[in-house]
């Protein structure tokens, strides 16, 4: 009986896309399944990609929109959800609640499925006049949504990493303009950093974010023929401002409700990039997010092995800006790499 191949891929992209995708994620050591059902462990090679996304987008939002990064609590009081009825209804099935034995006699707490409510509670204290606007805050954090049994590495898990921006404006015109601007920045990120083609459009009334006036989205068509949502930007109107008592004193010395938007992308982008570019030999990444851009494979013979390895080390040092991998293992032949059987070296 032949030994099962534990290094190369056993499924083909065009025949069993789901199995192929999972094998690529696992065997290229991007991520692995956690012992907690529906969650994943992002390994260093996978987290490097997320750091590149974060580095790129932080620069974009800071330089082009004057947005600032901050952090808000993981726990959200139940009363905050009840303040905006449509929003609460939309997220009710996905909320993970903390055991009341831990929080009693206090209010029941949720683990954030999104941060609008807890952030806007703070905004109600920070905003006093038109001089405080526009207010642009971004947060990088983890999210928990108990929404599905059909979890997939990066694409859909009960806990995932994301970025969420929350802005407040004096006028509807400003809000409209920047709601579109942020989705366009997402499109730029996908196309320039990830080499991921996307379509920009507007969600239907049924598909828009719960509590929003409207939602913009970018979607990418995957090789299996399905569209994958890669980022969204929502004009929230004035509903959240009214619910959370966010108001400002205008230039006319009267009280006004501001306009708000929110926008986000997640580690789903990593999954989209893997699925789009990888092939039946394994992981393929665009150069801008590939940590190791070169693999040095010395051809070794007994008489020249020492000298060849010495030269290989020298080349590795000369090309260090490309983070080269020197595969000097003697238990694998050079052909093993060419056949796509070099575990973890992609």
pLDDT in tens, 152-206: 999 999 999 999 999 999 999 999 999 999 999 999 999 999 999 999 999 999 9
For residue 165, give every residue at least 6 positions away whose Cβ sits within 8 Å of its Cβ, in sequence order, or none.
61, 67, 136, 137, 138, 139, 182, 261, 262, 263, 264
- The residues with which 264 forms a beta bridge, in sequence order, are 164, 232
Q: Averaged over 44-71, what is the pLDDT?
A: 96
Query: Does residue 344 lie in a domain region?
Result: no
Query: Does residue 286 lie in a domain region?
Result: no
pLDDT band, very low/low/confident/very high, at 133 (cuts 50, 70, 90) = very high
Query: Does residue 91 lie in a domain region?
Result: yes
Q: Averaged over 32-48, what is the pLDDT?
A: 95
Phi, psi of 164 (to 5 degrees): -135, 125
Q: Has residue 346 got a pLDDT over 60?
A: no
Percent above pLDDT 70 for the chain: 92
In terms of domains, do 263 and 323 share one? Answer: no
Q: Averaged over 6-12, what is the pLDDT?
A: 83
Q: Has residue 213 got a pLDDT over 70?
A: yes
Query: Does residue 285 lie in a domain region?
Result: no
Query: Does residue 4 lie in a domain region?
Result: no
For residue 193, give every residue at least 6 positions away whose Cβ sits within 8 Å of its Cβ, in sequence order, or none.
52, 53, 56, 286, 288, 289
In terms of domains, do 200 and 332 share one? Answer: no
In terms of domains, do 54 and 178 share one? Answer: yes
Q: Averaged over 194-221, what is the pLDDT?
A: 96
Query: Does residue 140 lie in a domain region?
Result: yes
pLDDT of 7 reads 64
Query: Does residue 174 lie in a domain region?
Result: yes
Query: Does residue 313 lie in a domain region?
Result: yes
Residue-number span of the structural domain to which 331 is assigned:
292-338
pLDDT of 87 reads 73
In terms of domains, do 184 and 306 share one? Answer: no
In terms of domains, do 167 and 53 share one? Answer: yes
In terms of domains, do 249 and 156 share one? Answer: yes
pLDDT of 124 reads 98
Which segment of 28-42, 222-236, 327-341 scores lowest on mean pLDDT? 327-341
In terms of domains, do 247 and 334 share one? Answer: no
In terms of domains, do 63 and 148 share one? Answer: yes
In terms of domains, do 33 and 160 share one? Answer: yes
- 135-144/68-69 β-pairing: parallel
Run of H or E residues at 91:
helix 85-91
Rounded to two decimals, the pTM is 0.89
In terms of domains, do 305 and 189 share one? Answer: no
In terms of domains, do 314 and 223 share one? Answer: no
pLDDT in tens, 143-153: 999 866 778 99
Q: Averaged over 321-346, what is the pLDDT?
A: 66
String of b and e for 78-88 (b: at least 16 CB within 10 Å)? eebbebbeebb
pLDDT of 94 reads 84
**Other C-beta atoms lying within 10 Å of the C-beta of residue 259:** 26
In terms of domains, do 26 and 73 share one? Answer: yes
Specify the number of domains making up the chain.
2
- Look at residues 101, 102, 103, 111 and name the one whose alpha carbon lies nearest to residue 80: 111
pLDDT, the chain, mean = 91
The answer to whether the beta carbons of residues 112 and 74 sit under 8 Å apart is yes
CA distances to 119, 139, 261, 343 from 244, rounded to whole Å, are 10, 19, 14, 52
pLDDT in tens, 58-114: 999 999 999 999 999 999 998 998 887 777 677 777 888 898 777 767 788 999 999
**Residue 91 belongs to a domain with what CATH number?**
3.30.930.10
């Amino acid at each position: 009986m032949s030994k099962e191949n534990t290094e190369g891929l056993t499924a083909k992209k065009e025949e069993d896309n789901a199995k192929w995708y999972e094998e690529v994620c696992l065997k290229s050591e991007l991520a692995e399944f956690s012992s907690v059902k529906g969650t994943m462990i992002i390994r260093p090679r996978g987290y490097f990609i997320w750091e590149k996304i974060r580095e790129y987008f932080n620069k974009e939002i800071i330089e082009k929109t004057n947005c600032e990064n901050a952090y808000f609590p993981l726990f959200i009081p139940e009363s905050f959800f009840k303040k905006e009825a449509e929003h609460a209804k939309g997220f009710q099935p996905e909320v993970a609640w903390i055991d009341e034995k831990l929080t009693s006699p206090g209010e029941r707490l949720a683990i954030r499925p999104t941060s609008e409510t807890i952030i806007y509670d703070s905004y109600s204290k920070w905003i006093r006049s038109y001089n405080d606007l526009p207010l642009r805050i971004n947060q990088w954090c983890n999210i928990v949504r108990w929404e599905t049994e059909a979890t997939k590495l990066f694409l859909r898990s009960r806990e995932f990493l994301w970025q969420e921006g929350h802005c407040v404006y004096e006028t509807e015109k400003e809000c409209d303009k920047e709601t579109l601007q942020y989705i366009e920045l997402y499109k730029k990120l996908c196309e320039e950093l990830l080499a991921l083609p996307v379509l920009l459009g507007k969600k239907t009334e049924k598909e828009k974010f719960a509590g929003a006036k409207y939602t913009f989205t970018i979607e990418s068509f995957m090789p299996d023929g399905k569209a994958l949502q890669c980022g969204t930007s929502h004009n929230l109107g004035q509903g959240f401002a009214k619910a959370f008592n966010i108001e400002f004193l205008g230039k006319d010395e009267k009280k006004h409700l501001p306009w708000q938007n929110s926008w986000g992308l997640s580690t789903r982008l990593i999954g989209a990039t893997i699925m789009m570019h990888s092939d039946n030999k394994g992981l393929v990444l665009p150069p801008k997010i590939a940590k190791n851009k070169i693999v040095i494979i010395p051809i070794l013979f007994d008489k020249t092995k020492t000298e060849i390895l010495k030269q290989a080390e020298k080349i590795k040092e000369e090309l260090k800006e490309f983070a080269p991998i020197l595969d000097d293992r003697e238990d694998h032949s050079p052909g093993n790499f060419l056949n796509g059987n070099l575990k973890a070296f992609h």
